[in-house]
Structure 1
């Protein structure tokens, strides 16, 4: 008689069989999905742009911030104090050297000038009397001995009168305020019918046709800078605009922060830059014999630098080690050779041996 199978074990056996079937189906489905994904992956052709790896001169860049200052700037003061009669300029107006800016009340100064002229005439008569006392005429001044001539000028008060006349003329000229340099009027606050003593100065004249960029660099970076070197200046207010400048020199002192102040001359013929403007300064220095790739070619994968190269319509994964960099390029120390085609677009989602084609 055949042995009886325990009925309690039958459900357990069926359960194991069912679980094994489900797992097998799942593995098969996963394998099919992976296979399908690979087929789809290799079937998709991604369009990319490329650029060659070249060996040549690399423009090393030093980027810093600075400020523009006018090369020519003059603060115009009132030389004498009196009521302001006229103000002939406004802020922002261009003036040429010698232009009349303002006029003060002239009467007190014309009166003093006239008195000084009278005093000169009186002392001239006194001078002639003193010379006559020594046997000489004023018209014969070239024959008068020097010691007698000097004594007569002093005793008559003629020298003092001439000094007073010169001072009166100088003060009289101060009633007509003229531009000492050409430039744009700034900081003008003075108004007619006010006393000149109410203002610290009349205005400032700024010549913006040529500006000086002043910017700090680290003391370790001064080796990149030399007098006459070209720099690029970009105002923060208009970053799309660029101006060329030349280094004129730098302060041979290092400040407490380890910085050295550099100065560069910037031409501004169109007047787009103004005194006090904040700017970005880019200093470039050519370094020859460098292996160079565009910045767009480099991507980061798991914290490492990767560049994809185009080889037989496939994107090939290359680990690289870069050196120097600027706003457009990297230098490569390891991982690439001259002449290889690196992918510079569509490379963020590429995998090794992804099928690609070069864009027209």
Structure 2
């Protein structure tokens, strides 16, 4: 019985040993395969551009706020009770279009009263002229006599009172002072309101922004600007600088105003926007921003020469959203020349002398 148990144990040990040997051989084979794979050289493919001098669109980026070119708060000056409103927020109105009305009953009575008083004054004027020997109100009455008669009869006063009553009647109807859009409407009928709504002319908008005094030399009236709302930075609207405030604030800023057409009506009064001021710089070497990397505190580009990446220090002269204008590094005394081929992709892990291939296009 003991011999059988020993035989079983020895058989189990032999099986385990065989399995361990097989696993070890498999692991060694896999490691050897990985080493061989790592030793196979990998080609590095890059995109390139050829340097040549061209105009660089230098951009100064600021934050600004849009303002309507015309804006007016409307209210009933007679303090009457609002009876009817004919508009709603966002609707467009023409100049002189009726917006709302108040109860004009009292004003209508005043007009009727003033009309009767003027009629009475005309009768008194005619009687006075007849008493002076004239044939009533006619062209034969001398001007000075007619003037004195109108004053004495109360005719002038009656005319003034009728005009005043008509003006009060007109104030019961609120009309648009200019063509525009309704905003901030308080549509509360049967109430007295200090302010009913605002009319804004947003067919064009002024954008107000500030720049550092050091930048003012690059800005002039008529200069092109690009505006992008923060809510949709892909949307761009072009305009021109219309006003430069000739004073510098305590913070060293100068206020600039530019006018932007708004035919679509998508830009709104009070909207916060990004303002890009463009200024062309001629004879510049322009590369995409991806072509420039930073190494040891310096800006570097890799030039393509004879199948190798050549480490080259550069200085950034100007920048915009997508590009740099570059030149040779002054501290490292490097130079760039027209015709140099600059690597624009796959350059993050390159070193000086790395073998590279240009991608086929």
User: Where does residue 158 of structure 1 map in the other structure?
Assistant: 155
Partners of 1:322 and 1:68 in 2: CA distance: 33
Gaps of 5+ in 2: 1-34, 329-334
User: Is 2:338 the partner of 1:338?
Assistant: yes
Distance 1:315 1:158, change over 3 A: same
Q: After the TM superposition, which residues 104-123 of structure 1 pair with which residues of structure 2 at under 5 Å, given as runs?
A: 104-123=102-121
User: Where does residue 23 of structure 2 map in the other structure?
Assistant: none
User: Where does residue 100 of structure 2 map in the other structure?
Assistant: 102
User: Where does residue 230 of structure 1 map in the other structure?
Assistant: 224
- The answer to whether the 8 Å contact 1:53/1:337 transfers is yes
User: Where does residue 77 of structure 1 map in the other structure?
Assistant: 75
User: Where does residue 191 of structure 2 map in the other structure?
Assistant: 194
Could you tell me the TM-score, scaled by structure 1's length?
0.84
User: Where does residue 89 of structure 2 map in the other structure?
Assistant: 91
Partners of 2:86 and 2:179 in 1: CA distance: 15
1:135 aligns with one of 130, 133, 136: 133
User: Where does residue 352 of structure 1 map in the other structure?
Assistant: 352
CA RMSD in angstroms, aligned pairs only = 1.9
User: Where does residue 329 of structure 1 map in the other structure?
Assistant: 323
1:149 aligns with one of 131, 142, 146: 146
Partners of 1:125 and 1:167 in 2: CA distance: 21
- The answer to whether the 8 Å contact 2:318/2:325 transfers is yes
- The answer to whether the 8 Å contact 2:51/2:342 transfers is yes
- The answer to whether the 8 Å contact 2:66/2:269 transfers is yes
Could you tell me the TM-score, scaled by structure 2's length?
0.84
User: Is 2:257 the partner of 1:263?
Assistant: yes
1:239 aligns with one of 233, 243, 246: 233
Shift of 1:44: 2.6
Partners of 1:65 and 1:83 in 2: CA distance: 43
Partners of 2:280 and 2:223 in 1: CA distance: 11
Partners of 2:223 and 2:136 in 1: CA distance: 66
2:211 aligns with one of 212, 217, 222: 217
Shift of 1:40: 5.3
The number of residue pairs the alignment matches comes to 319
Partners of 1:202 and 1:284 in 2: CA distance: 42
Partners of 1:345 and 1:138 in 2: CA distance: 101
Q: What is the CA deviation profile of residues 222-248 of structure 1, one whole-angstrom value per residue up to 9, with x for unaligned ones?
A: 222222211100111111111111111
Distance 1:348 1:113, change over 3 A: same
Shift of 1:134: 2.5
Partners of 2:173 and 2:261 in 1: CA distance: 33
Q: What is the CA deviation profile of residues 194-239 of structure 1, one whole-angstrom value per residue up to 9, with x for unaligned ones?
A: 13xxx22111011222111111112222222222211100111111
- The answer to whether the 8 Å contact 1:74/1:181 transfers is no
Partners of 1:321 and 1:177 in 2: CA distance: 63
User: Where does residue 49 of structure 1 map in the other structure?
Assistant: 47
Partners of 2:78 and 2:62 in 1: CA distance: 45
Structure 1 window deviating more from structure 2 (265-274 vs 249-258): it is: 249-258
Structure 1 window deviating more from structure 2 (160-169 vs 74-83): it is: 74-83
Query: What secondary structure is seen at the aligned counterpart in 2 of 1:247?
Result: strand
- The answer to whether the 8 Å contact 2:129/2:137 transfers is no
Partners of 2:315 and 2:271 in 1: CA distance: 39
- The answer to whether the 8 Å contact 2:125/2:137 transfers is no
Partners of 2:134 and 2:356 in 1: CA distance: 113
Structure 1 window deviating more from structure 2 (130-139 vs 168-177): it is: 130-139
